[in-house]
Structure 1
Amino acid sequence: MTKPLTPEHSTTSSIFPKTASSIDIREGEGVRTLHFGSEWVQGAMRVARPWALELEYTRAMIFPLILCEETPTRILLIGLGAASLLKYLYRHCPHAHLKVVEIDPRVVQAARQFFRMPEDSERITLVEGDGADFMSQVSETYDLILVDGFDARARAGRLQGERFYRDCGRVLSAHGFLCANLLTRQRGYRSALSALNAIFTERTLHFPTLDSGNGVVLASAEPQGPWSLVELRARVLTWKKNHALDLGRLLARIEQLQSGASGMLRLGQ
């Protein structure tokens, strides 16, 4: 989810009854967007490039793949939206099994009908249910957990807070990463940051706030790094060449935050 963004000359269609919680599909200037009965963008797809990551914050949520020594094989996504992250990971992590938890079956229908969500029961497991409940009960471990779940009023609800983040940390593999999308302009942002820092002590990295107002936070199960920023630049270039995604601008902004870290990036000591 990101801040309200309505392309000029857009058209809107509602695929369910028009209520406060309706699911709206809008399209303008070649971009199709998902809305929950409000102006907040819950997901986006450039129609000519359906497998690309259209929104900047979704590209930031891929950054942990740059840090991994090996591509994650067990990935959990809390929140489906327009299936942008699912599609990208499905294409560029071909050996990974992807599990998606989505509370609203209408979102699943919209992702299938309008956003080209892949159908592959061998590699994708879809769970229709509450993400917080799922996390409190799950026992299998994951190499990467991506959290991006909001309601029509841009509230994350139980998908933030110490209890939820503790459950995430409990099922992360030893070298696993949690990446959460937060909205910096919403009430609860600072408490979510505090909760993440409390659970993942000194093992969090708050990316520079994006122009959209999204604040992506990365956390690791155990201390990770250090990584040379020179090495990370090389990895970013390789990823751009092989996986059609340029994370150079994001890394440059991270470097600015790490200016006093002797050219190294680390999560924990």
Structure 2
Amino acid sequence: MTNSNKPSLRDKHTPHFAPVNFSEAAGVRYLHLGSEWVQGAMRLRAPMRLELEYAQQMMAWLLFLDPPAQIVQLGLGAASLTKFCYHYCPASQVMAIELNPAVVLAARAMFELPPNDARLSVIEADAWDFVRDASHYGTIGAMQVDLYDATASGPVLGNTAFYRACRACLTAPAILTVNLFGDHPSFARNMRSLNEAFAGRVIALPSIHDGNRVALAFNGPPLAFDWNALTIHARSIEKKWRLPARAWLSALSEVVEIQHNTFSI
């Protein structure tokens, strides 16, 4: 995967997928793609919850937006985000795009992903093709990008052209969240591409214990939030969705400047 801005981001030959396999430990089932790298997780007694910390942070757009009409995940994994949004955002249409058909089958057979219905669409497709489809332009209020293959050596899509296409799909306002590896060379490349695509309106939360860093990219008009109001809202998120929203605010305060008790972006 190069950081070229040329539109031909993928080899159009039939892709070769790594085998899908699973492990379990301490009541948690993990998804792997032929390696030790964890591609997703589900606590068996709480299948709709978000088990991994980075997956929880991928929902940090809730600090700034109400659940929008359409939420899209690029990369299904163990379907954690897809299930969570489907279950806890009942007014939203939820769509997930996944290239590997075996991952979709695994999500349904092993990770309790519900079948498609009027609100849920899981589509076997290339994320690059999806974001270039003009029928999606201006329709998505929250997009969550988690695109890794078996090597887990950085996102498989991550150049400026890709992120510009993602932005074209967003409403105004809207937020894109991206799972990145903070200690990998791909982090700097992806952050550069995100900033180019989103005119610098990008924040990367601090690295968490397993090295993931979640970036948030903002689309639409400039936004300003009273920090006290955000704190109150974070408490309501914790109560309603049982997500560590005040921890997100604490992490945010480490990487942005709060002026006159206001966060602006």
Q: Is the 8 A contact 1:236 1:247 kept in 2?
A: yes
Consecutive unaligned residues of structure 2, counting only runs of 5 or more, are: 1-15
C-alpha distance in 2, partners of 1:20/1:124? 25
Alignment of 1:63-82 (within 5 A): 63-68=60-65, 70-82=66-78
- Aligned counterpart in structure 1 of residue 196 of structure 2, from 155, 180, 198: 198
Does residue 94 of structure 2 align to residue 111 of structure 1?
Answer: no
Does residue 117 of structure 2 align to residue 89 of structure 1?
Answer: no
Does residue 254 of structure 2 align to residue 261 of structure 1?
Answer: no
- Aligned counterpart in structure 2 of residue 170 of structure 1, from 146, 168, 171: 168
Q: Is the 8 A contact 1:258 1:264 kept in 2?
A: no
- Normalised TM-score (structure 1): 0.87
SS of equivalent to 2:77: coil
SS of equivalent to 2:248: helix
- Normalised TM-score (structure 2): 0.89
C-alpha distance in 2, partners of 1:29/1:53? 16
Post-superposition offset of 1:223: 3.7
Change (3 A) 1:205 1:225: same
Does residue 129 of structure 2 align to residue 133 of structure 1?
Answer: yes
Alignment of 1:148-187 (within 5 A): 148-156=146-154, 158-187=156-185
C-alpha distance in 2, partners of 1:210/1:157? 17
Q: Is the 8 A contact 1:76 1:144 kept in 2?
A: yes
Does residue 108 of structure 2 align to residue 122 of structure 1?
Answer: no
- Which residue of 2 is the match for residue 8 of structure 1? none
SS of equivalent to 1:256: helix
- Aligned counterpart in structure 2 of residue 51 of structure 1, from 48, 53, 56: 48
Does residue 30 of structure 2 align to residue 33 of structure 1?
Answer: yes
Aligned-residue CA RMSD in angstroms?
A: 1.7
C-alpha distance in 2, partners of 1:57/1:154? 15
SS of equivalent to 2:135: coil
Q: Give CA deviations for 1:234-264 in whole Å, capped at 9, x if unaligned.
A: 1111111112222221211212323553332
- Which residue of 2 is the match for residue 13 of structure 1? none
Q: Is the 8 A contact 1:229 1:255 kept in 2?
A: no
Alignment of 1:219-258 (within 5 A): 219-258=217-256
Tell me which amino acid in the other structure corresponds to 1:46. Answer: R
State the 4+ residue runs in structure 1 displaced beyond 4 angstroms: none
C-alpha distance in 2, partners of 1:193/1:200? 10
Tell me which amino acid in the other structure corresponds to 1:30. Answer: G
SS of equivalent to 1:159: coil
Instruction: Select between 83-92 and 115-124 the one with higher mean Cα deviation.
Output: 115-124
Instruction: Select between 148-157 and 167-176 the one with higher mean Cα deviation.
Output: 148-157
Q: Is the 8 A contact 1:158 1:164 kept in 2?
A: no
The percentage of counterpart residues that share the same residue type is 33
Post-superposition offset of 1:200: 0.8
C-alpha distance in 2, partners of 1:193/1:101? 22
C-alpha distance in 1, partners of 2:228/2:208? 23
- Which residue of 1 is the match for residue 3 of structure 2? none
SS of equivalent to 1:181: strand
Post-superposition offset of 1:156: 4.7
Q: Is the 8 A contact 2:257 2:263 kept in 1?
A: no
Post-superposition offset of 1:155: 3.7
